[in-house]
Structure 1
Amino acid sequence: MTKEDFKNLPEKEFSLGEQIREVVYELALRENAYPRFIERGQLKPADAQRHYQALKAVLKTLQGLANGPMAHRE
């Protein structure tokens, strides 16, 4: 598939649990890929850290939603 093919995929509904599993999967991919990208000079360490932390924040938000509104409050 090309980059354009991915951009043109129709939207699809995913349950909250499915979304959480996808984010966990993506985090695992990044844990394996980012060190190589940094080593090759394709990604700055600070950028890798920011992207990874942002996705961890997404996971925390989704997990909070999955556990109900009281779990998401501070």
Structure 2
Amino acid sequence: SKPLFWEWSQGQAIREGDWKLVRWGTGNPWDLYNISDDPTETNNLAAAKTERVQAMEQQFLDWKKRVVSGSLN
């Protein structure tokens, strides 16, 4: 399945499979949750899964560039 991206006035997020990367505000650190194991998003795994955070953040940044440039295909 394809990742799901979203951005709102208070932050940004990406969901890929069981993983959700979310950031409140711009410039703040990302939080990472396994929403299958932790549906209430109480156990932030970002410190333990830095490679996953970096990969998902890059996907988000790439998506954002496509949105801004108007080339979402």
TM-score by length of 2: 0.35
More helix by share: 1
Larger Rg: 1
